[in-house]
Amino acid sequence: MDYWMAFLIGGMICGIAQLVMDIGKFSQIHVMSGLVIAGVILGSIGAYDSLIDIAGAGALLPISGFGYLLIKGILSYKMENGWMSIGSGIFQLAGLELSFTIVLSFFIALICKPKG
């Protein structure tokens, strides 16, 4: 059942993004930025936590999960060190995701030989 919920919730997030691009005529970068901002807003008010409890990786893997990880890093670092040092906590949780993406992109570029 967990796999179905992850599939349905992740697919719903991606489906909403696709509808916004198709119906609203927004570009991909606008929709991607909107999803990150939505993840930050929902994560800061605690609504994304319940979505992750239901869907697990289905809610963390879309780009809105990146915004959620950014705000969670900021909020956890603020609790430990106060507001003056939240800039160093931004990539506390999202750093692993960024590192994995960069390394994976490098190896895919070696295998696929991009034309650019």
Residue type, 49: D
Each residue's pLDDT tens digit, 46-57: 899 999 999 988
106-116 pLDDT, tens digit each: 999 888 877 76
Domain total in the chain: 1
CA 93 → CA 1, 24, 73, 100, 108, distances in Å? 27, 32, 5, 12, 24
52, amino acid identity:
I
DSSP character at residue 62: S
Structural domain span for residue 43: 2-112
Strands (E), the chain: none
Contact 35, 63 (CB under 8 A): yes
For residue 1, count other CB atoms closer than 10 A to its CB.
Answer: 5
Query: pLDDT tens across 6-48, in order?
Result: 999 999 999 999 999 999 989 999 999 999 999 999 999 989 9
Please tell me the distance from the alpha carbon of residue 92 to that of residue 102, in angstroms, as a whole number. 16
Cα distances (angstroms) measured from residue 36 to each of 17, 21, 32, 60, 81: 11, 15, 6, 11, 25
- pTM of the predicted model, to two decimals? 0.77
